[in-house]
Chain A
Amino acid sequence: MRNLLVILLCLLLNINYLYSQTRFEVSGAGRSYPIAIAELCQLNPSDSVAKEVPKIFAKNFDLTGYFNVINPSSYIETPGKCDDESFAYSDWSSIGVEGLIKGKVQSSGSKYKIKLFLHDVGIEKEIFGKEYTVDKQNINKAVYSFGNDVVKHFTGTPGIFGSKIVFSGKVGRFKELYMMNLDGSKLKQLTSDRGLAISASWGYNKKDIVYTSYKNRNPDLFLLNASNLGTKSITNGSALDIGGKFHPSTNQFLLSQTTGKDSDIVTVNSSGKIISSFNKGNGAIDVSPDYSPDGSSIVFCSNRGGGPQIYTMDTYGSNVKRVSYTNSNYCTSPVWSTTGNKLAFVCRANGGFQLFVTNTDGSEPLQLTNSGQNEDPSWSPDGKYLVFSKNFSSSNNSLAIIRADGQNLKRLTKGSSGESDPSWSKIVF
């Protein structure tokens, strides 16, 4: 009888744990520069780091769409080989590898010294090498740093390994904010608001997030510190405050505020006081605003012309121009690219919502998806990719990325918590 009670007790504690620690799995596949990452030479035995590092590299290179990670099962060289002098480039060129990462790891007290080297197999030369000293839980940071340098070597611009994505996921019947690295690692629940935590957007550093929460039983804007999880109220009136965005340089927030039949784009200071209000009282639904990266323009969705379409305007509310010309009667969720030259938004098409990218004047619209529900796009820090929510199967949403040219659709999460509303960090951590 006592054993039964003990078992029941453990079960209860585990159920609580499960509700606050939902697990996600990540899947993907790749192409282009053939690359290989050899198992590291391990200078102290009995550790998994030498095997872990190549896996982290592989997952991240694969997500870029610019690298074809050659399957380790075809490697000829002895895994974990430590003797540099007798390392043969032909072991790699013969299996089609162009870029080769090799390295060594040595534990030193509670830390690890990791040396990583990039080799050009074609010219049989080491291109560069770096050394990192990290705690065990920060091994991935060494990988991300080196990986971004490798991406820069091959593509001309640094990679975005180690950038973070904040999103909403279901915890029981509630929606809470989560954060994860691009490759799905270091998943962390950020809120316990026991309501709806939605519409999150990163600021311009490693900690600032603005989001909408129902924790005070009304949709209000809050500031969240992603590092210590502290929150601060920004707005607390009876209006519906959503779509909060940081201004690139001042301490102001852009959002849409709905008080009556009207919904207006407004800017507020950190105490929620309205600084500017655009087109108040025009009777239209103006929603989902975003700043251009220099803060001089705003893109937003409005139904002032009938159905919802995308418009840009300056920060005085003048020079309003429609920029959605996609033969759709319903376009929304616009976001301005981090490099300033493109807009992304979604429009109703092909029986659902599809992603579109255009120039900032609305010219040359490109449709990126053509089936299912694709919502809430957010740009990568280098302006090359979009993360968005997609329903891969008929009901559950999960997160996916796609390159802005429409290539490289990759699934990021499994959908077990209906992942939605993603925002990509503006910096690489």
Chain B
Amino acid sequence: MKIKNYLLVGLLVLLGACTCGTKAGNIPYPTEGTVLKDINYSYDSFALDSEATARLQSNYQWLKANPGSNVVVEGHCDERGTNEYNLVLGANRAKAAYEYLKSLGMDANRASTISYGEELPLDPGHNEAAWYKNRRVHFDVQ
């Protein structure tokens, strides 16, 4: 019966180490911002509207109050448009948010930017509501 126990432990170790599609990876899981809110954009645009700037101001306040935290500013797009063009649009969105935070007083070294284009949608739907959610910049607190 000791053999049975070893088999069980072995199985659990395998389960724990199993890399079949689990968390270990070089891209994040798409999640909605909680500590720092996501900001959204109009179609094909990287302009910040008033709701975006308001959220950026509140995100900046949090960063000011938590000087030990850095943030990765992720730019995303909806699925329309080509993959390559959307990678660039995502980068532009991330940069727009980053530059605005800097203009409020954030130290340039506290944040980096990255684009995932249309590759990591928050909502897998194919409708206006899903597309709106996916056209976002997400702030990943480090």
Query: A and B, one complex?
Result: yes
Choose one: A1, A173, A258; the contact of B91 (CB below 8 Å): A258
B residues 1-30 in Cβ contact with A at 8 Å: 3-4, 7-8, 10-11, 14-15, 18-21, 24-27, 29
A residues 10-40 in Cβ contact with B at 8 Å: 12, 15-16, 18-19
Contacts of B27 in A (CB 8 A): 173-174, 194-196, 214, 217
Shortest distance from the beta carbon of A397 to any chain B beta carbon, whole Å: 10
Given A5-B8, A195-B27, A196-B27, A285-B83 contact (CB < 8 Å): no
Given A9-B11, A214-B26, A258-B82 contact (CB < 8 Å): no
Shortest distance from the beta carbon of B2 to any chain A beta carbon, whole Å: 12
Q: Is the CB of B88 within 8 A of A263?
A: yes
Given A12-B15, A12-B18, A261-B46, A242-B84 contact (CB < 8 Å): yes
Contacts of B8 in A (CB 8 A): 5
Is the C-beta of A94 less than 8 angstroms from some C-beta in chain B? no
Is the C-beta of B114 less than 8 angstroms from some C-beta in chain A? yes
Q: Is the CB of A238 within 8 A of B112?
A: yes
Q: Is the CB of B91 within 8 A of A263?
A: yes
Question: Nearest residue in B to A6 (C-beta to C-beta)?
Answer: B7
- Tell me the dominant secondary structure on chain A's binding face: mixed
Q: How far is the CA of A242 from the CA of B87 in the complex (A)?
A: 8
A residues 271-312 in Cβ contact with B at 8 Å: 285, 287-288, 301, 308
Choose one: B21, B92, B119; the contact of A285 (CB below 8 Å): B92
Q: How far is the CA of A222 from the CA of B119 in the complex (A)?
A: 19
Q: Is the CB of A173 within 8 A of B126?
A: no
Given A16-B20, A193-B26, A395-B126, A261-B85 contact (CB < 8 Å): no
Contacts of B92 in A (CB 8 A): 258, 261, 263, 285
Q: Per-residue 0/1 for A380-405: is the Cβ within 8 Å of any B Cβ (1 yes, 0 no)? A: 00000000000000110000000000
Given A15-B20, A194-B26, A196-B27, A287-B84 contact (CB < 8 Å): yes
Shortest distance from the beta carbon of A57 to any chain B beta carbon, whole Å: 35
Given A285-B88, A333-B82, A2-B4 contact (CB < 8 Å): yes
Question: Nearest residue in B to A285 (C-beta to C-beta)?
Answer: B88
Is the C-beta of B96 less than 8 angstroms from some C-beta in chain A? yes
Is the C-beta of A376 less than 8 angstroms from some C-beta in chain B? yes
How many residues of A are counted as interface, with CB atoms below 8 angstroms from the partner's CB atoms?
A: 53
Q: Is the CB of B25 within 8 A of A376?
A: no
Q: Is the CB of A16 within 8 A of B85?
A: no
Q: Is the CB of B26 within 8 A of A261?
A: no
Contacts of A240 in B (CB 8 A): 87-88, 91, 114-115
Q: Is the CB of A256 within 8 A of B4?
A: no
Question: Nearest residue in B to A241 (C-beta to C-beta)?
Answer: B87
Question: Nearest residue in A to B89 (C-beta to C-beta)?
Answer: A285
Shortest distance from the beta carbon of A189 to any chain B beta carbon, whole Å: 14
Is the C-beta of A378 less than 8 angstroms from some C-beta in chain B? no
Q: Is the CB of A288 within 8 A of B26?
A: no
Is the C-beta of B138 less than 8 angstroms from some C-beta in chain A? no
Q: How far is the CA of A18 from the CA of B91 in the complex (A)?
A: 34
Q: Is the CB of B25 within 8 A of A194?
A: yes
Is the C-beta of A346 less than 8 angstroms from some C-beta in chain B? yes
Q: Is the CB of B26 within 8 A of A217?
A: yes
Q: How far is the CA of A391 from the CA of B40 in the complex (A)?
A: 27
Is the C-beta of A156 less than 8 angstroms from some C-beta in chain B? no
Contacts of A353 in B (CB 8 A): 82
Q: Is the CB of A19 within 8 A of B126?
A: no
Shortest distance from the beta carbon of A142 to any chain B beta carbon, whole Å: 38
Given A194-B24, A216-B26, A258-B115, A199-B84 contact (CB < 8 Å): yes
Q: Per-residue 0/1 for B81-125: is the Cβ within 8 Å of any A Cβ (1 yes, 0 no)? A: 111110111011001100000000000000011111001000000
Q: How far is the CA of A260 from the CA of B21 in the complex (A)?
A: 33
Interface centre among B27, B85, B126 (most CB of A within 10 A): B85
Contacts of B89 in A (CB 8 A): 285
Is the C-beta of A72 less than 8 angstroms from some C-beta in chain B? no
Contacts of B10 in A (CB 8 A): 9
Shortest distance from the beta carbon of A224 to any chain B beta carbon, whole Å: 16
Q: How far is the CA of A193 from the CA of B119 in the complex (A)?
A: 15
Q: Is the CB of A218 within 8 A of B114?
A: yes
Is the C-beta of A88 less than 8 angstroms from some C-beta in chain B? no
Contacts of B24 in A (CB 8 A): 194
Q: How far is the CA of A267 from the CA of B119 in the complex (A)?
A: 26
Q: Is the CB of A173 within 8 A of B87?
A: no
Question: Nearest residue in B to A352 (C-beta to C-beta)?
Answer: B80
Choose one: A301, A308, A420; the contact of B83 (CB below 8 Å): A420
Is the C-beta of A332 less than 8 angstroms from some C-beta in chain B? yes
Q: How far is the CA of A8 from the CA of B113 in the complex (A)?
A: 43
Q: Which residues of B contact A (CB under 8 A)?
A: 3-4, 7-8, 10-11, 14-15, 18-21, 24-27, 29, 46, 81-85, 87-89, 91-92, 95-96, 112-116, 119, 126
Q: Which residues of A contact B (CB under 8 A)?
A: 1-2, 5-6, 8-9, 12, 15-16, 18-19, 171-175, 193-196, 198-199, 214-219, 238, 240, 242-243, 256, 258, 260-261, 263, 285, 287-288, 301, 308, 330, 332-333, 346, 353, 375-376, 394-395, 420-421
